Structure 1
């Protein structure tokens, strides 16, 4: 496949537009959330608020959706905001700032440290039984954190009869920058066809606090981790690629290699 053909194939597969009408995109995504709540016969939405821009934008969309449903139907629909630190989270105040900005009345904090550490220890003990003596790796423990957060979210969602809302977008899908069955395990993903630049555009319109819009994106899975450092690619280049623009050859090659290598994360589970 030729270079331009590959780029266009990926853009079409992820559904990204080169330009967007921000207000229209907000309305479309709020409507999407409302329709899925009604179709699922649930009572609202659950969003894990990490303190980053993606979850902040998603929280804003969720709150609009449940507020509109409550007004339109006369029934009580709610957005539940969940904070999930691992021990002491450096930027936890940003999570609370998002909840305050969007006037979330239903919030809770579930600290995952003890559960994650217990799982990691059990993994190490299990490895010893086959003669492998090693600690769980930093990235391995990061995956445990993401999947523990997912387990907590679904346990709460089950008890409250709400949908779990994801924060992944096209820039993350392009690189496979999410944990399979962790933050990638959700019921609905309202940001899925937006790149990172477009997510920022929605953030400005929704009123996400500026300190969250301007901070370095991070998955928060280990100290000092940032998305762009880990990937070695800027979100500007990533967004340019998804908008069909020219990017340096080295960036294009790396993005396309990441896309191919992480296809299993975006595919349904294979079966005979």
Structure 2
């Protein structure tokens, strides 16, 4: 195993092999425990895109809510938030995910008008605001809406970040990275897929090509193209296996250059970046 590989695996707490049923129970109990020990909250709020990660996190949360309500009279809820930018190309997958998850309520907050208004305001200030910049604005607008929903429902915002994304900071800081609780942290992509298979999710939801779908000029751009390395290589690397040197070097370069995204705002007492 490469020296940095061992550190990355340890930092992200990835297990080389998991038992899907045990990890499902582990995440569900984690979500239940949080609400039980934070009685000021009554719901979980999660954005559902129709992809693997939000489908898994949403289903785990629904199981947790159902089990809590079976033993309490507080009426906990799972609030799903749909957040398309205009018309979502793969909206059918989002609908399938909601049918599978069965949230207690669904709220739709279309981010097109807010994203376009912010883009216009920034351009009026003399900025260019190219497609990559707009791709960063969109998840931040989604975060604002999710926290507004959470405020209305005394809720906690669930994130979908997992090891196969966290290693590269493959999320928008203060966008989809701005959450309260991350039940998938520690899992790689194939482990999440195995858990959805165990939960009997529709195959279309965990076999589809992962995409963030943030850039207008590159709609449905596959994650693997954006990352420059395949999820198979990423998962193998995170499980401690040998992968080709080129892939290993790319993974390690992404990890090192994205350290700030996995860290709280830096203070004078931090030494991790020296």
* Range into which the TM-score falls when normalised by the shorter chain: over 0.9
Counterpart-to-counterpart distance in 2, 1:9 and 1:103: 39
Q: Which residue of 1 aligns with 2:253?
A: 257
Task: Note the residue ranges of structure 1 that are not aligned, 5 or more in a row.
Answer: none
Matched-pair contact (CA < 8 Å) for 2:55–2:101: no
Counterpart-to-counterpart distance in 2, 1:229 and 1:6: 23
Q: Which residue of 1 aligns with 2:272?
A: none
17, 23, 26: which is aligned to 2:24? 26
Counterpart-to-counterpart distance in 2, 1:138 and 1:6: 34
After the TM superposition, which residues 17-96 of structure 1 pair with which residues of structure 2 at under 5 Å, given as runs?
17-41=15-39, 42-96=41-95
Matched-pair contact (CA < 8 Å) for 2:147–2:157: yes
| Residues 179-234 of structure 1 deviation map (CA, whole Å, 9 limit, x = unaligned) | 01100000000001000010101111122211111110001212131101111211
TM score, norm. by length of structure 1: 0.95
Q: Give the deviation of 1:75 after TM superposition.
A: 2.2
After the TM superposition, which residues 59-138 of structure 1 pair with which residues of structure 2 at under 5 Å, given as runs?
59-126=58-125, 128=126, 134=128, 136-138=129-131
| Residues 132-183 of structure 1 deviation map (CA, whole Å, 9 limit, x = unaligned) | 5x3x111110110010000000011011101000001000011111101100
Q: Which residue of 2 aligns with 1:227?
A: 223
Counterpart-to-counterpart distance in 1, 2:105 and 2:95: 12
Counterpart-to-counterpart distance in 2, 1:22 and 1:39: 26
Q: Which residue of 2 aligns with 1:161?
A: 154
Counterpart-to-counterpart distance in 1, 2:103 and 2:264: 34
Task: Note the residue ranges of structure 2 that are not aligned, 5 or more in a row.
Answer: 269-274
Counterpart-to-counterpart distance in 2, 1:123 and 1:145: 14
Q: Is residue 183 from structure 1 mapped to residue 176 from structure 2 by the alignment?
A: yes
Counterpart-to-counterpart distance in 2, 1:49 and 1:224: 16
Deviates most, 159-168 or 102-111:
102-111
TM score, norm. by length of structure 2: 0.94
- Tell me the secondary structure at the aligned position of residue 202 of structure 1: helix
Q: Which residue of 1 aligns with 2:192?
A: 199
- Tell me the secondary structure at the aligned position of residue 177 of structure 1: coil
Structure (1 or 2) with the greater helix fraction:
1
Q: Give the deviation of 1:105 after TM superposition.
A: 2.8
Q: Which residue of 1 aligns with 2:7?
A: 9
Alignment RMSD (CA, Å)? 1.0
Counterpart-to-counterpart distance in 2, 1:207 and 1:59: 14
239, 257, 267: which is aligned to 1:243? 239
